[in-house]
Amino acid sequence: MPLATCDEEQLEIKLLLEALYHCHGYDFRQYAYASIRRRILLHLKNNQLETISSLQHHIIYSRHAADRLLIDLSINVTEMFRDPLFFQYLRQQILPLLQHTEYLKIWHAGCSSGEEAYSMAIILNELNLLSKSQIYATDFNNKILSKAKQGIIQLKNMRLHIKNYIDAGGTEQFADYYNAKHNYAILSQKLKKKIIFSHHNLVSDAVFSSVDLIICRNVLIYFDKALQQKVFQLFNESLNIGGYLCLGSHETLCFSPLSKQFKTCSETLKIYQKKADKQL
Ligand SMILES: C[S@@+](CC[C@H](N)C(=O)[O-])C[C@H]1O[C@@H](n2cnc3c(N)ncnc32)[C@H](O)[C@@H]1O
């Protein structure tokens, strides 16, 4: 069989993503092309499929095949206190400004297996803000959400998490936040009970209302520019005036038309604050 040319491959990918959307509602049509292509080719290899068109056939006729593809298309790499300097700034500069808010609502969009949300709960605990906070952590991948809800982390990964915690300015004994059992660390109930993990798709689902802080890190990097704009709009509508938006180190609000509605707190750390209408 002749190899697909670049144009043919693009067409096959476009048709595959249309099939995935129309048959199962999973919408990857506005994801950044290079990374989605890489994931699809890897999925073909792992499933011993020769062509994208043969995968498309499976997707049209099998929900199970679509669910498996969804898992391979979503990249779930994460860690606790990822980018410690970001968490240090959050702890020292941003959260103290929110301490007088009556009830703090925090949204982690694209939370993966939950390490980022558990890190937030730890910082809030150390700032004595945990009891008056509610953390919502959402993702569109149900399998990874089940893992997040369990709050169980492989012990071998804890070394990195502890180092990040210290680099992020942690002040307590990190071991107080989990119980070690066999090869796993079971995160404490005190943290778990303040986090609501739920399904939310940034491409298609509605706004979260009246949020004080949105953390959406290392998610928009996989979206094309138009989809990023749509999600910025969703975040703008979800945030309270004076609320903060935090993005990943390779993401920025600065080229968006919405940037005028935000003050940049740190472009290095990608932290932005929503202005009041009179400040525009
Ligand atoms: C690389 S992880 C980032 C995890 C965490 N925010 C961090 O920075 O460590 C990206 C996450 O975004 C999620 N994601 C991708 N597209 C999404 C969408 N349309 N709606 C909600 N979550 C999405 C993926 O399932 C994945 O868990």
- Residue 36: phi and psi, rounded to 5, are -65, -35
Return the pLDDT at 208: 86
Return the pLDDT at 279: 73
Q: List the domain range (segments joined by +) for residue 101.
A: 84-279
Residues 177 and 240 reside in one and the same domain: yes
Return the pLDDT at 278: 72
- Contact, 151 vs 191, CB < 8 A? yes
Residues 56 and 185 reside in one and the same domain: no
Residues 60 and 101 reside in one and the same domain: no
214: CA distance to ligand 1 center in Å? Answer: 13
Ligand 1 pocket test target in 35, 87, 140 with most atoms within 8 Å of CB: 140
Q: Which atom of ligand 1 is nearest to the CA of 204?
A: 19
3-state secondary structure of 266: strand
- Contact, 256 vs 228, CB < 8 A? yes
CA 230/CA 80 separation, integer angstroms? 28
15: CA distance to ligand 1 center in Å? Answer: 24
* Cβ neighbour number for residue 144 with a 10 Å cutoff: 20
CA 204/CA 227 separation, integer angstroms? 10
170: CA distance to ligand 1 center in Å? Answer: 25
| Residue 60 resides in a domain | yes
Residues 93 and 150 reside in one and the same domain: yes
**Number of folded domains that form the chain:** 2
Tell me the average pLDDT across 40-46.
97
Residues 161 and 136 reside in one and the same domain: yes
Percent of the chain with pLDDT over 90: 95
Alpha helices in the chain (DSSP H): 6-24, 33-46, 52-61, 63-73, 84-89, 115-126, 142-150, 158-167, 189-192, 225-238
Last residue of one domain, picked from the residues 73, 105, 123: 73
The CATH number of whichever domain residue 228 belongs to comes to 3.40.50.150
277: CA distance to ligand 1 center in Å? Answer: 31
Residues 20 and 92 reside in one and the same domain: no
3-state secondary structure of 239: strand
Q: Ligand 1: residues within 6 Å at CB? A: 74-78, 82, 110-112, 116, 139-141, 144, 201-203, 217-219, 248
Residues 224 and 186 reside in one and the same domain: yes
Residues 59 and 144 reside in one and the same domain: no
Residues 64-107: tens digit of each pLDDT: 999 999 999 999 999 999 999 999 999 999 999 999 999 999 99
- Contact, 247 vs 222, CB < 8 A? no
Ligand 1 pocket test target in 139, 146, 246 with most atoms within 8 Å of CB: 139
| Residue 46 resides in a domain | yes
Residues 47 and 149 reside in one and the same domain: no
Q: Which atom of ligand 1 is nearest to the CA of 78?
A: 9
Last residue of one domain, picked from the residues 22, 43, 73: 73
Residues 145 and 270 reside in one and the same domain: yes
Residue type, 201: N
Residues 191 and 226 reside in one and the same domain: yes
Residues 199-254: tens digit of each pLDDT: 999 999 999 889 999 999 999 999 999 999 999 999 999 999 999 999 999 999 99
Residues 105-137: tens digit of each pLDDT: 999 999 999 999 999 999 999 999 999 999 999
Ligand 1 pocket test target in 219, 220, 227, 247 with most atoms within 8 Å of CB: 219
Residues 156 and 255 reside in one and the same domain: yes
Return the pLDDT at 3: 57
